[in-house]
Chain A
């Protein structure tokens, strides 16, 4: 099998969404993912308004709602030593509530939508390297399919949506343009039947916590702090570290969490500092965490992935279907991504430094809100994408010829 317009490496939020949008525009798309169809993954789950807006604009929000994902109508910010602040969500632009779907649900919805639009899905297929032409332009991927079958997929463009440890980024040597220093170490677990007001975020001296209601009556509860502090605390046991951080970051939440059944398992996530990569080069592009990763403390990764999927897809369509030069199209993708991301990235890095007092963290959250508003403004100004299929309908013949 050979000859795609685009091969997308990674079929999670960023990859599946990008593939869906490209396929909806009539491009021939393959998605390669090493995981099984419908598998779960580590996540904060929380979608912010811009993320929900994307699902709504793409006609996928109903599926999230129909799956019983609890609607979130308000966010409560808890600060140690100061009154809590509640923000109710105002319905606007097709977003009546926020949602925090489990990933086995959200990723499957996106993958199914990509498949319905005509993208080919290759699960349990591991990319082992990229194909380069004689001018060193990336022209597809080498992979191993189920049962160890070797595969070569030729494509006009290869999109790396393969996450934090992206093979695509590594292979092409995508330059890191920003590299952070701070990161959160996180402990998290799922609690059943925990009464929550919506998203609840809490900030205490040098630490933070949060509660995110997701599917099946479960609420994701996390605590976070600097890796050093976490290491010291965990030496006394994970459960004690969790309790200590919850008490420090969110004393108001302790009675509620402790009166609910204890989480079956508390898992840890060691922090990785944020980075921004140049997300394109000859024949390749990066989307999602592969190109731009920021600490999960602001729970904004999936939202940005859904945003960037469209920013990238629009430019890919402009180049493959409408003949715009690849470099100028992808440069535009990078510029828009960075314009919308820089302030989110900065505020997140500052929060993940855990070097703030309550006034400062409120100021950082204000920066974050302001940047999120810009993101929503931008996405609302984008043209709607028709939900339709039609392979090759808009692909000019010369492009079709190039892939063979």
Chain B
């Protein structure tokens, strides 16, 4: 029998010319075993090697049966009992047959070709390369090495064969390939083509950190284009902005003293924000600072984080050696996000590492220096960019770093929220640029157009209303003897071309111009020359840009609405043809009113955005097209929508997954059902979870672990801890790709929840950190579900100082690992412990930080939780109003949180405390009752609402309700270790007794509560109890202060 195994471009086995159908390979380990053996020398491996590759870390006793099972299914699928042989500790594939493996042949012929050194030999070898090695198995770690080897060989062969275009597809920044193409164009006499190739190279280099053209490239370029005009924009001298200049110097000086921050520059279009940013850069450079510059409006619909990453890229281009101090893991994170290329999304929340990586680069660049990061036009920025900026801004506070951002007002809600948060924390300084005074406008115009008469200058002042850009534009027209608005008079053909170009963004490349112009090359270049000559556009870093955002906007505004849609569609078609990032193309189609065309691009863009953590941006893309997706596209779109909502902690994920279930089949359906069950369990909808899992069995495919995990979650939330633990352990063993945090995240979270209830939380946590040591991607997964469970720890028997010390250690480890969510988590825990031990200053500091950190990484549960704790701090500080405000902020976040059953009870508990009087407090109890439905209650957390509710009801004489809450509190507290909550319940009992006139009992109860509080280390609570012994009447005071704090 002749067996042919294809591994390049996809997996296929052919026996005597008859292909084994791909559907037969549903048994994943059977397929993996065949692939692994096919890649091995002589198709044989030692049993241990197979086990290490396919089931790393799984206990030996569990592996034997799996190997045999995989071999059994492989034989069955291949229809030959001798297809896989396990003998004498060796596993062999088709030992007796003639087997041809395509990758083996490619590598043999390829190596020969490299030795031969000719283009023809390389070409012969390349014909055997039908695609990358097993592209369907991107997450298999055992494939990494052979895949890299095949990839490198392929690149070498492309180079040797002179297939430069193909090489650039694989390695867009390969300078050698670009230069070869430039030379070829130049040799053909096509100078324009050669220069366009240079532009492409510049673009590609902009997507890598710290890479600039080599000397050879610069010399070649100079030989082709000796008189290249400078690409820098004309520097404008500022008039009437002396106070702004002083303020900038002050900010730079403050940053040099280690008090960095953010400058928020606002004002109407054309008021000179960009000029002030330029001035900031000049001032910073004069002080020897490093700088980086990005612009949000550069490209419409660009990929996540791009303006911020552009600024970091700019910084690294100017100082490439900085990267010698940046760890590879960090650089990889930034480069992946900077590349603008498609990234596959596993479903993990990965953006935290990007945040940490960006912050590390910022710290490195600022070390011993000042660092200025400028991002212009952030009103055009994506949500992800704003979050990253906000995070960096907070990192800047203790570094010599100034972030300078400019935006128009009014701004979007997200931008306003970010700015307000920075200003409120003292990290942000707003400078609102107003129009120039008459005198300053006169000086400005006189400096630039000295020949303009006084009357004309007066006219310009009146017409410009002090906006410098408008004033200069008008003055330019007047001095040329013309009248007119923002746009110079243009030939209609030129106008049409640049209206199309304007759709792209404020910058564009020559390739893009040629593509959208829709005329021949000569004509397109003629139109470009015209546009340059009338100052419509100018040269910039990697191509051209409109002279000002207002110029570009005027071009767009001049289009009637019907023409805009058609223009956008044309631009979208051309961008798609140029292979532009899918988000850009999708954006154009959606803007053109053609969402159905956008769908395939949205599907690609969502992968990248999800992988980079830009969930909200991805979600708005999905929601922009979901009504228009075809039946083939809809299942994946809806499944991803569920994933995005899940990542954002939005209970709507359940609905999204439910929609997706009905549309999918096979393994995809199993996966979506598992995710539906998980989302439903977390949202407390156990019936839906149960129904979703009904009939799903372990089938040896990728859905196994998610299914087991969902079962574990369901068992946990149904209160069956033993089953939950068993299923979770089983799932952990069956993780198909142990390095894939997607599955691990929830699993670890679930195990953490259970461990917590068993009082083994820190031990469990440390074990997980050890297990994930060195696998940094996994560490980020650890912290999610641990959020609420940590409460047991705080009210348990571990002393607070110890909790703080342990948490500081956790925070240190999480910081090193780049797990921002972990840092946020540990910070909240420290803040809580500090609150409970009465260190209010520290509690305030840590909890404020925890709120911001959770907000930056879009972890709404953690944010709500930290806000609630911060409200307790404010209450203890006597600031009731602020406490109420914080709780109002926390409430909606908690309501939509996956852990709402814990959070809501706590928030309402504190709201009762914060109420201005007994009647208001009683009203909060009713609101809580109406909001929290029975199934949403965590029986552990119930005490946190029940104690203040019982006291509140007692205080207004509603004794029946008081007793009801007391009973709930007593039942709940029985689940806890002895500690502060026991004391709180005792206090509540005493106050109910007092309300019923049982004064003696009440005094005794308060005394006991005080004793219990002292034993738990809550001196302040104890003091309150004792004070109540002395002052029997509580009328007029608040009711909820019996929550231990």
Contact = CB atoms under 8 A, between A and B. Distances in A.
Interface of A: 49-50, 74-75, 82-83, 85-90, 92-94, 343, 359, 363, 365-377
A86 B326 CA distance: 9
Contacts of A86: 327-329
A45 B325 CA distance: 20
Contacts of B773: 83
Residue of A82, A88, A90, A371 with most partner-chain B CB within 10 A: A90
B816 A372 contact: no
Interface stretch (B98-106, B208-216, B583-591, B842-850): B208-216
Interface in B288-306: none
Contact of A377 (B215, B319, B327, B774): B319
A208 to B, nearest CB: 17
B322 interface: yes
29 contacts: A49-B321, A82-B816, A83-B774, A83-B776, A85-B328, A87-B325, A87-B326, A88-B331, A89-B324, A90-B320, A92-B211, A92-B212, A92-B320, A92-B321, A93-B320, A359-B812, A365-B325, A366-B325, A366-B363, A366-B364, A366-B367, A367-B367, A367-B368, A369-B325, A370-B367, A372-B324, A373-B319, A373-B321, A375-B321
A113 B367 CA distance: 37
A98 B329 CA distance: 20
Contacts of B367: 363, 366-367, 369-371
The 7 A-B residue pairs with the shortest CB-CB distance, nearest first, are: A369-B325, A376-B321, A370-B367, A85-B327, A373-B321, A373-B322, A366-B367
Given A90-B320, A92-B320, A373 B212 contact: no
B605 interface: no
Contact of B215 (A94, A369, A374): A94
Given A90-B211, A377-B319, A370 B326 contact: no
Interface of B: 209-212, 215, 318-329, 331, 363-369, 773-774, 776, 812, 816-817
Nearest to B773: A83
Contacts of A92: 210-212, 320-321
Contacts of B324: 49, 75, 87, 89-90, 369, 372-373
Contact of A83 (B364, B366, B817): B817
B779 to A, nearest CB: 9
B325 A372 contact: yes
Chain A interface main SS type = helix
Contacts of B212: 92
Contacts of B215: 94
Given A88-B328, A365-B325, A370 B368 contact: yes
Contacts of A83: 773-774, 776, 816-817
Contacts of B331: 88
Given A90-B320, A92-B320, A370 B816 contact: no
A85 B658 CA distance: 44
Nearest to B363: A366
Chain B interface main SS type = helix
B360 to A, nearest CB: 8
A87 B357 CA distance: 13
A370 B365 contact: yes
A89 B817 CA distance: 22
Contacts of B326: 87, 369
A85 B816 CA distance: 10
Contact of A369 (B210, B320, B322): B322
Given A368-B325, A370-B325, A377-B321, 19 more contacts: A49-B321, A50-B321, A83-B816, A85-B327, A85-B329, A87-B325, A90-B320, A92-B320, A92-B321, A94-B215, A366-B325, A369-B322, A369-B326, A370-B365, A372-B321, A373-B322, A375-B321, A376-B320, A377-B319
Contacts of A85: 327-329
A49 B210 CA distance: 14
Contacts of B363: 366
B628 to A, nearest CB: 44
A87 B368 contact: no
Nearest to A375: B321
A369 B323 CA distance: 9
A74 B210 CA distance: 16
A380 B327 CA distance: 23
A371 B368 contact: yes
Contacts of A376: 320-321
A83 B812 CA distance: 12
B390 to A, nearest CB: 23
B817 to A, nearest CB: 7
A369 B364 contact: yes
Contacts of A93: 320
Contacts of A94: 215
A85 B332 CA distance: 13
A240 B367 CA distance: 38
Residue of B212, B319, B320, B366 with most partner-chain A CB within 10 A: B320
Nearest to B367: A370
A373 B326 CA distance: 12
Contacts of B368: 343, 367, 370-371
B51 to A, nearest CB: 24
A74 B328 CA distance: 10
Nearest to A362: B816
Contacts of B318: 377
A356 to B, nearest CB: 15
A259 to B, nearest CB: 21
Contacts of A50: 321
A321 to B, nearest CB: 27
Nearest to B818: A83
Contacts of A367: 367-368
Contacts of B328: 74, 85-88
Contacts of B323: 87, 90
A359 B773 CA distance: 18
A85 to B, nearest CB: 4
Nearest to A377: B319
A50 B320 CA distance: 12
B399 to A, nearest CB: 11
Contacts of B812: 359
Contacts of A368: 325
A267 to B, nearest CB: 29
B618 to A, nearest CB: 30
Contacts of B321: 49-50, 92, 372-373, 375-377
A359 B812 CA distance: 9
